[in-house]
Amino acid sequence: MTSPRQVRGTVLAVLLCSALAGCGSVTASAPATPAAAAATGCGSVDRATSVTVHRVLHLVEPTQGNALSKTQHNATLVRALFGQLCAAVSHPAVAKGSTLHCPADFGIAYLGTFYAGNRTLAKFSYGASGCETVSLTAGGKTRTTMVIGAASAAAPKLRPDLAAVLGVPRLAIARPLTGTRNSGVTH
């Protein structure tokens, strides 16, 4: 049987090696036209009434990271987040002939679904650590980009808007929340 100390040591070693290695490299996607963003379902931003978001932890030691799942019904917050995701995929990052290194990728991602009443409008994924990525799917079409360059400039409130939807501090988006059953969550 593996002790918690052995698991913790293994996880820390993996994280350290990942950070030092730059977590691999990624080449950014090619640009898209504004019509492509409209085809991704961004025309329905104003119809969104709720969003359900789930945090997924890939590399964090299970005893140290908490799952997070929330459904937000405040249409103002929902539409702000949807708009930021649309802005990012409408301005895909371009890194011609460049290799990007993505240190500090702790495997934190958010998966969500936007709704208009009971009807699904769009689904998204947001890789919040390392090289941030956004993927938005609506109407059977998916657009994906890294949140750098033009995409980052087009969606400057992506992280704060996601934090507002989840009801957590902005800085908690790219790192796991930890705590004990009795102490509550610490940020």
- Percentage above 70 pLDDT, the chain: 62
- Per-residue model confidence (pLDDT) at position 81: 97
Pair 128, 118: CB distance under 8 Å: no
- Confidence at 143, pLDDT banded by 50, 70, 90: very high
Q: What dihedral angle (degrees, nearest 10) is formed by the CA atoms of 15, 96, 134, 58?
A: -20
pLDDT in tens, 55-84: 886 655 554 556 688 999 999 999 999 999
What is the C-alpha radius of gyration for the chain, rounded to an integer number of angstroms? 17
With CA atoms as reference, report the closest residue to 70 among 163, 138, 160: 163
Q: Answer with the residue of higher pLDDT: 167 or 175.
A: 167
Does 20 score more than 60 pLDDT?
A: no
Residues of the chain by 3-state class (helix, strand, coil), percent to 5:
35, 30, 35
Residue 3 is encoded by which pair of tokens?
Answer: 């002790």
How far apart, in whole angstroms, are the C-alpha atoms of residue 142 and residue 12? Answer: 35
Residue 75 is encoded by which pair of tokens?
Answer: 């249409």
Q: Using CA of residue 93, residue 96, residue 97, residue 98, what is the dihedral sign? A: negative
- On average, the pLDDT of the chain sits at 73
Residue appearing with tokens 């956004």: 134
Q: Answer with the residue of higher pLDDT: 86 or 9.
A: 86
How far apart, in whole angstroms, are the C-alpha atoms of residue 94 and residue 90? Answer: 12
Residues 6+ apart with CB under 8 A from 133: 125, 126, 127, 144, 145, 146, 147
